[in-house]
Amino acid sequence: MKVAVLVSGSGSNLQALLDAIAAGRLPVQISLVLADRPGIRALERAQRAGVPTEVLRPRAFAQRADFDAALAAACAASGAELVVLAGFMRVLGPRFVDAWEGRCLNVHPALLPAFPGIDAPRQALEYGVRITGCTVHLVDRGTDTGPIVLQQAVPVLPGDDPASLHARIQREEWRLLPEAVRLYALGRLRVRGRRVEIVGEEND
């Protein structure tokens, strides 16, 4: 299965996917890494792995819908069957979401539906929760509101600040995101309303 990955920053989750593929744990090929700005480390990671890259800058488009349409078209042109948002820091509009409905995964640094949107670790600390975590979910028209595929809890420790908490959450993201993509690639995810079921056995 070919996968397009959308990025905006350092690309640590992209690297987790690349490492899982190289280790034989993830039966997919990354057909495109698509960024919304040039010069980021995620593009360097992709290029080092021999993965095609492309940059689409939002300000190059007259309207937001045109940017979303260009993103969707670039992913389709790469032959991708699945899009993964790996630290992509823009909310996708209806043109993109509708084109890739049921075929787009996002990883978020909180246990959704708690703390959607930006700066989730800081939100968790300010709220005073003892447990937070990360979520991989299917993307819909809302902000971090799509059906949940996998979650992993992470404790909030005394003395945590947003950076230390986020770093601990990220270590779980690097495990959770490749696993969610693997389950999708193997056809083991079934969406029934808001519930995502994992079906079948490993040896099917």
Active site residues per annotation: 108
The Cα angle at residue 46 between residues 43 and 47, in degrees rounded to 5: 85
**85 forms bridges with which residues in the sheet?**
6, 106
CA proximity to 169, closest of 127, 107, 113: 107
Q: Which residues pair with 53 in a beta bridge?
A: 33
Closest residue by Cα to residue 181 from 80, 56, 76: 80
- Answer yes or no: are the C-beta atoms of 203 and 100 closer than 8 Å: no
Residue among 127, 84, 125, 75 nearest 108 (CA): 84
Q: Which residues contact 29 (CB under 8 A, 6 or more apart)?
A: 1, 2, 3, 21
